[in-house]
Structure 1
Amino acid sequence: MTTLAKKYPSPSSNNFDLPDQQWVLSVIEILAGLWGHLRPAKKIREEPLDGLILTILSQNTNDKNRDQAYKLLKSRFSQWSDVLKATHDEIAAAIRPAGLSNIKASRIKETLKIIANRFGNCSLKQLRKMKKEDIIEFLSSLPGVGPKTLACVLLFDLGIPAFPVDTHVSRICKRIGWVHPQRSPREIQEIMELTVPENLYWSAHLDLISHGRNICMARKPKCEVCPLNEHNLCLFASGGKVNDR
């Protein structure tokens, strides 16, 4: 048995060790068999702006509320240019199911204004003609676009490799022992992108989320039914030790 938790340096360090890749791949393989999120052959939105707005609505809420708010917004306004022309109150009323409607309405309206000024219309299709670093720079300048939102748009809307880290992914990466408990989502994203093969970003991200929602919950995780515990691959469940690989 090998105690791996001691491998990780202080979170104040500018450098960090990567988790053993075979350990990570073993977990990903098990979760793929459990949750089975395979990347669809054609799952990139025609309009990346749709995904950006959807992700903004998803902040600090669940998928059900996000989807309801997005549906109401799209039914109320047929085009994003119509949303740009709408008042703050009109937008906030449409997206109220997502919560924080005033904050999100301001972010959406300001985002649309910036996009229209940059590209001449309310569309992000032109991002596909830009270099990755330029896309990242532009999206990062938009209000409310943090590392997770940025990574989601890159991966799911532009087909550019990125590993989004939400609360579920962060929690599981820390519990398993892949990262130091005080690592930030941005740091965890970097660690995962350096460890996980790019072709697995999509499925691994979604499988980790499913595992976090159904078994490795924030409160009362179901370690007794978790296959990672069965294979002794999780530091949280095994008391700080995992199998040698």
Structure 2
Amino acid sequence: MTARPEGPTGEQEGAGPRGISLREVIDLLVPVYGRPVPQVSHDPLAELVLTVLSQNTADTNSGRAFLQLMRRYPSWDAIAAAPVEEVVAAIQTGGLAQQKAPRIQAILRAVAQRAPDWDVGFLEELPLEEARAWLRALPGVGPKTAACVLLFSLGRPALPVDTHVERVSKRLGLIPEKASADQAHGLLEALVPPEEYYAFHMLLIKHGRRTCAARRPACARCPLAACPSREG
């Protein structure tokens, strides 16, 4: 992943508001889950659609829905122009198809107006915040979706904050409990070094799914002994 010349510097690598070390979080989670290796897709439009499909569903289901959508339609133009009921049927396995189908079509139609050739690779060359703003201007694209496209498809220093990352970060005291999802993106991008954005995102997702669950966190086997929310 490229170093980020603009925006937050990531020099604040010490403790969150409640005293836990960010460096300790990463160093203790890597032996458990492995060091994530960035894999850049270089296909921002596909990443954008896949990210919408991944919302509130398992990765396997969203991936299956994406493949079915690609097999059903020969082009982005065809998806944008298709009857919405057909798109709903094509992505049914991904869950919430009634909401995601019209959202995907609205995004694609907006992209077609701004990039008629469907080539949005220019986002890799734009200043980071301009690229983020371009994505955020698309209908229904929030900070997490924009960050996913920037990080996973273009290798740019943006930090997606999903429900797992937000929950674990708050339990660790890295960000305030009352911070909104939008605020969490800015706070964590300022706290985490840009070169660690990918690893931090992936490690906290794995930790949130496997150990620090929403309802019953497995504190007894958590490697983060200094967690201020630790039970038992």
TM-score range, shorter chain: 0.7 to 0.9
Deviations 1:22-60 (A, max 9, x none): 7011111111121114224xx222321010000011112
Alignment-derived partner of residue 203 in structure 1: 199
2:163 to 154, 161, 167: 167
* Higher-Rg member (1/2): 1
SS at match of 1:44: coil
| 2:45 maps to amino acid | L
SS at match of 1:227: coil
2:20 touches 2:172 (CA, 8 Å); kept in 1?
A: no
Shift of 1:123: 3.2
Trace 1:57-96 onto structure 2 (pairs within 5 A): 57-96=53-92
2:114 to 106, 110, 118: 118
2:28 touches 2:223 (CA, 8 Å); kept in 1?
A: yes
Alignment-derived partner of residue 27 in structure 2: 29
The 2-side partners of 1:172 and 1:133 are apart by 26
SS at match of 1:150: helix
- Mapped pair 1:234 → 2:232: no
Matched residues, number: 218
Distance 1:28 1:19, change over 3 A: farther
The 1-side partners of 2:208 and 2:52 are apart by 21
1:155 to 136, 151, 156: 151
- TM-score, normalising length: structure 1: 0.83
| 1:156 maps to amino acid | F
Alignment-derived partner of residue 180 in structure 2: 184
SS at match of 1:228: coil
Alignment-derived partner of residue 8 in structure 2: none
- TM-score, normalising length: structure 2: 0.87
Q: Which runs of 4+ in 1 moved over 3 A?
A: 17-22
The 1-side partners of 2:16 and 2:218 are apart by 27
The 2-side partners of 1:127 and 1:182 are apart by 32
The 2-side partners of 1:22 and 1:235 are apart by 8
1:52 touches 1:149 (CA, 8 Å); kept in 2?
A: yes
| 2:114 maps to amino acid | R
| 2:229 maps to amino acid | F
| 2:30 maps to amino acid | A
The 2-side partners of 1:46 and 1:78 are apart by 20
- Note the aligned Cα RMSD (angstroms): 1.9
The 2-side partners of 1:18 and 1:218 are apart by 21
Shift of 1:21: 8.6
1:215 touches 1:223 (CA, 8 Å); kept in 2?
A: yes
The 2-side partners of 1:120 and 1:162 are apart by 26
Q: Percent identity?
A: 40
The 2-side partners of 1:173 and 1:115 are apart by 33
Deviations 1:162-183 (A, max 9, x none): 1111111111111112222111
